Amino acid sequence: MKRHPKILQRENTALLVIDIQERILPVIFEHERVVENAVKLINGFKILNVPIYFTEQYPKGLGPTEPKIKTALGNSEAIQKMSFSCCGAGNLFDDLKSKNLEQIVVCGIESHVCVMQTVLDLIANGFQVQVAADAVSSRRKFDYETALRRMENNGAEITLTESILFEMLNVCGTDEFKAISKMVK
């Protein structure tokens, strides 16, 4: 049976965590939700052995990655950027292409600036993008909601953390399923 082409396949998927940094986080709408779900995505992608990338926007001004996120990421190094879009984050897009990654799951802040510009650039460069709506946000709820609509109108799939993880699992009954099920409860 044929599966829908937008269902995530772990062999060609990566997670991109965008700019969840200490100094801006306190003013972000429902920032606890963003951190909680970003950590779930990171831990789930680690269980599934799927690549994870993360960026920091101007860390001198916005500070380092939020500690819970950084702990979940382990020893990974941030891709530092000054551009709002992650297309300006070093060789990130080239690296995604060279590894034949076609589906990119995105979480982070701010929805209407760095996340949206990155999503639009990923789509323009031929990637299928899924935005975890419960793991992105902005300072204002209106900005967050407007950004989700714009990303969706331009081809991004708007979805949820749990949906993403279970899509990547594909089946139940495995050790990975048990670990992820326990994590999302």
Residues carrying an active site annotation: 19, 81, 114
CB 168 within 8 A of CB 10: yes
End-to-end, the C-alpha distance of the chain in Å comes to 31
Burial class (CB in 10 A: 0-12, 13-18, 19+), 79: middle
What Rg, from alpha-carbon coordinates, does the chain have? 15
DSSP symbols for 119-160? HHHHHHTT-EEEEEEEEEE-SSHHHHHHHHHHHHHTTPEEE-
Spell out the alpha helix ranges (H) of 63-114: 67-73, 92-98
Cα–Cα dist 12/28, whole Å: 31
